[in-house]
Amino acid sequence: MGFSGTRVFALLLAAGLLPVALSGCGKDEPVDTDTPTAERLSLIPAPASVQRNDGEFIVDAATPLLARGEAARTVAAQFAGFVSKARGIDLKISDAADDDASGIVFAIDSGMAAASPEAYMLEVSPERIQMTAADARGLFYGAVTLWQLLTGNDDDRISVPALRIDDAPRFAWRGFMLDSARHFQSVDEIKQMLDAMALHKLNTFHWHLTDDQGWRIEIKRYPRLTEVGGCRIPAGDAGRDPATGKPVPYCGYYTQDQIREVVEYAAQRHITIVPEIDVPGHAQAAVAAYPELGVTGKPIHVLNEWGVNTTLFNVEESTFVFLENVLAEVVELFPGPYVHVGGDEAVKDQWQASARVQQRMRELGAKDEMAMQSHLIKRLEKFLAAHDRRLIGWDEILEGGLPPEATVMSWRGIEGGLEAARQGHDVVMSPSSETYLDYLQTDSPNEPPGRPATIPLEQIYAFEPVPTELEDSQRHHILGLQANMWTEHTRNFQRLQHNVFPRLAAVAETGWTPQAGKDYPDFLARLPAQLHRYSAMGIGYAKTPFEVGIAIDDDRKAGTAQVMLSNPLGYEVRYSTDGSQPVAASPVYRSPFDVKLPVQVRAATFFEGKPLGDTSEFRIDAASLLRRSDEQLAVCPDTGRLLLRLEDDGPAQGERAIFNVTIFYPCWQWNGADLDGISAVNVRAGRIPYYFQLAHDEPSRTFEPAKTAHGELEIRANGCHGKVLNSVTLPAAPDADGFINLTASLPEGITGKQDLCVLFTGDTRPDMWVLDEVALQP
């Protein structure tokens, strides 16, 4: 970012005591504040066509809902429920008496010309609101638009401007995938996500139900899939009873009756569910339940680690029949046209090492392991086709050949989608680099655990599902896009909502709004109203994108600092330096300002005079300038290793510590640490299980050899392969609180600015030391 001096890059903690890493200090495109609030329609996704007229329609508890026919009455009732929850008024439904009746009219017109069954027309005049669609789906989405018009603020007077909206979605597939295998969600939580999807006009729920870490769908023919495969023993303290030391399993699955309930609930909101049964990899929970399904036939446990595992289904005829029997029950439960069979990350080591698998491949005429997987996919495709279903899988199913009827979900970038479309396959674009919601969304220390990359709101909004290089003749194969929420690091529903919202709103706009109608600054101007709706509907959206960030350029010796404030999304920042709460009349941050230490800076984001987030606080004094948390420290640049944000292994319930960790090489670096007048480095560290399987990436995991029984804490100068300034022997275990505090004195004569590296030696398996905080001791 080009800052010089001893600058600390930080996002303000809500508690406000520590500086942390910051990126995105400025935005190229400011939030749209040119359009007056009264003229802006804060609709997300933006509709295809809007014509504004004169006047307004006032809605209150006496406004009747008039429905023509049973389908229209159903939509009117759903609309009334949404309004009641968000605005607290109960609207009554009656049959529409005549065309001139005053009120809100819902009507199905089968003769209405529409490009899509999801299209609708909404007309508002001072006398009435008329909603018309050719299909109940379109009428429902029109009701969602009207609900948004009623709920963008909390004004007592509810008015809808006179207008006409003609609207239809850009893409037929507007999806959201939820991984219920790694961490399990209750039926009520699934329903809450379906409600939220519907209010974003998303229509496809991809339900990831099986994986190495859990089998979550009841299959009556094979009860051990849930009896055994539905439970795992978590790694570390979370998997042990602290009183007895006995294992504490993590369990959960959906009964078939519960699945039917969820399917019906989704259908009422015009959402199709696509179940996923993963083959031939991500199979360890199934193999743990029935070891004869595995390549070795040996008993194994349900996996309690993350990453890429090598356990595969074997290729025996009996296993193929097992999978077909499972799918036979799946298609009875899920009436939608698609069944997802996974196909991703199936490392072929077990197949390559098995003489029996190699013999079976020769029997089947499969020239290599890719062809063997293709044989399995083709067989399952035929089975599903015979049951009036279409097969869909991750883009690895292209390897070795694919039936023409199969659909490809492109996650390893867009290249697989391009190849599939050119081969004539339908495609759903879902690249991990643009649509994975388990990736962090800001650099704030208030982000929950997650994958290493940061995918901010703007990056998701900018994603274009139809590649420019795809030929016009093949573009019809792009069915749409999907956001994916993997849950390795998402232990509870609160974190799930944090990761998903508001980024799912950006996905929704790309899926619905015409490409030419997308406008990111305008989207940001409409977003505050969406946040208001989230709050009204009980959706726990992420607050981190609306925090204020701070960077400071300090002169520790002079007791002064220059302060720079920012917001990741570019919203207006107002601040104070006298300890007062920032309000609409507080100074607007426009440029860096100087302060004398100590000082307390308080800041908040505002939009049109109203605060968007909680106030962030930051106390800058001599002590804070000498401390860095793990979030503030850099990944050692000369190792080039992966950074993860990981959670402690205990307690089983409640809050846990969170650490930034480079799992390939255990180092942290304080760039430009000012060591003038510093005699020692104090380190607070914890220890967590190393719960990763890396498959072919395992050789990349490196560490410095330990010189003593339990390894050492090393403090190095000039990077993580620089000179060792001191080495402190590590204990066998942390203290009772799970942490250790170590002090490493510095040699005399170590002064000036150094890239100070903190490094733990020794193998990181089965447990690894993780950094919590570093402090320089004067």
Q: What is the pLDDT of residues 197-252, one digit of tens each?
A: 999 999 999 999 999 999 999 999 999 999 999 999 999 999 999 999 999 999 99
What would the pLDDT profile of 504-525 be if each residue is shown by its tens digit? 999 999 999 999 999 999 999 9
Neighbours of 101 (CB within 10 A): 16
Determine contact, residues 643/658, Cβ cutoff 8 Å. Answer: no
- The rounded distance, in Å, linking the Cα atoms of 426 and 420 is 7
| Per-residue pLDDT at 751 exceeds 80 | yes
pLDDT value of residue 605: 98
Residue 639: the pLDDT is 67
When mean pLDDT is compared over 280-294, 440-454, 622-636, the highest value belongs to: 280-294
| pLDDT range class, residue 152, cuts 50, 70, 90 | confident
Residue in 118, 276, 345, 647 annotated catalytic: 345
In terms of pLDDT, which residue wins out, 364 or 12?
364
Q: Which residues contact 655 (CB under 8 A, 6 or more apart)?
A: none
Determine contact, residues 740/734, Cβ cutoff 8 Å: yes
Class of domain 633-777 (CATH, top level): mainly beta
Question: What percent of the chain stands above pLDDT 90?
Answer: 85
How high is the pLDDT of residue 4? 30
Mean pLDDT of the residues in the chain: 93
Residue 329 falls in the annotated catalytic set: no
Tokens of 169: 């979605």
What does the pLDDT read at residue 33? 66
Residue 29: which pLDDT band, with cuts at 50, 70 and 90? low
What average pLDDT score do residues 560-583 get? 96
Q: Examine the pLDDT at 151 and tell me if it is beyond 50.
A: yes
**What is the spatial distance between Cα 340 and Cα 337, in angstroms, rounded to a whole number?**
10
pLDDT tens sequence across 594-619 = 999 999 999 999 999 999 999 999 99
Beta partners for 620?
599
Across 130-150, average pLDDT: 97
Percentage of residues of the chain with pLDDT beyond 70: 95
* CATH number, domain 49-167, options 3.40.50.800, 3.10.20.30, 3.30.70.60, 3.30.379.10: 3.30.379.10
Residue 32 has pLDDT above 80, yes or no: no
Q: Which residue has the higher pLDDT, 531 or 694?
A: 531
Average of pLDDT values for 579-592?
Answer: 97
- Pairing status of strand 767-777 against strand 680-689: antiparallel
Write down the pTM of the prediction.
0.94
From its phi and psi, is residue 106 left (phi > 0), alpha (psi between -120 and 50) or beta? beta
Query: Based on the number of CB atoms within 10 Å of its own CB, is 519 exposed (0-12), middle (13-18) or buried (19 or more)?
Result: middle
Tens digit of pLDDT for each residue in 320-338? Answer: 999 999 999 999 999 999 9
Please name the CATH architecture into which domain 177-518 falls. Alpha-Beta Barrel (3.20)
Spatial neighbors of 122 by CB under 8 A, at least 6 apart, are 129, 130, 131, 132, 142, 145, 146, 163, 164, 165, 167
**Contacts of residue 90, Cβ cutoff 8 Å, sequence gap at least 6:** 61, 80, 84
- pLDDT one-digit tens code per residue, 687-710: 999 999 989 988 888 899 999 999
Domain ranges of the chain: 1-27+34-41+519-620, 49-167, 177-518, 633-777
Q: Is the pLDDT reported for residue 409 higher than 70?
A: yes
Rg (C-alpha) for the chain, rounded Å, is: 28
Q: What letter would DSSP give residue 387?
A: T
Mean pLDDT over 459-470 rounds to 98
Residue 3 binned pLDDT confidence (cut-offs 50, 70, 90): very low
The candidate with the shortest Cα–Cα distance to 225, out of 264, 199, 255, is 255
Residue 356 has pLDDT above 70, yes or no: yes
pLDDT at 156 over 60: yes
pLDDT at 1 over 60: no
pLDDT of residue 652: 82
For residues 662-667, give the mean pLDDT: 89
Contact 741, 728 (CB under 8 A): no
Q: What is the pLDDT of residues 168-188, one digit of tens each?
A: 999 999 999 999 999 999 999
User: How many Å is the maximal CA-CA distance in the chain?
Assistant: 92
- Average pLDDT of span 283-301: 98
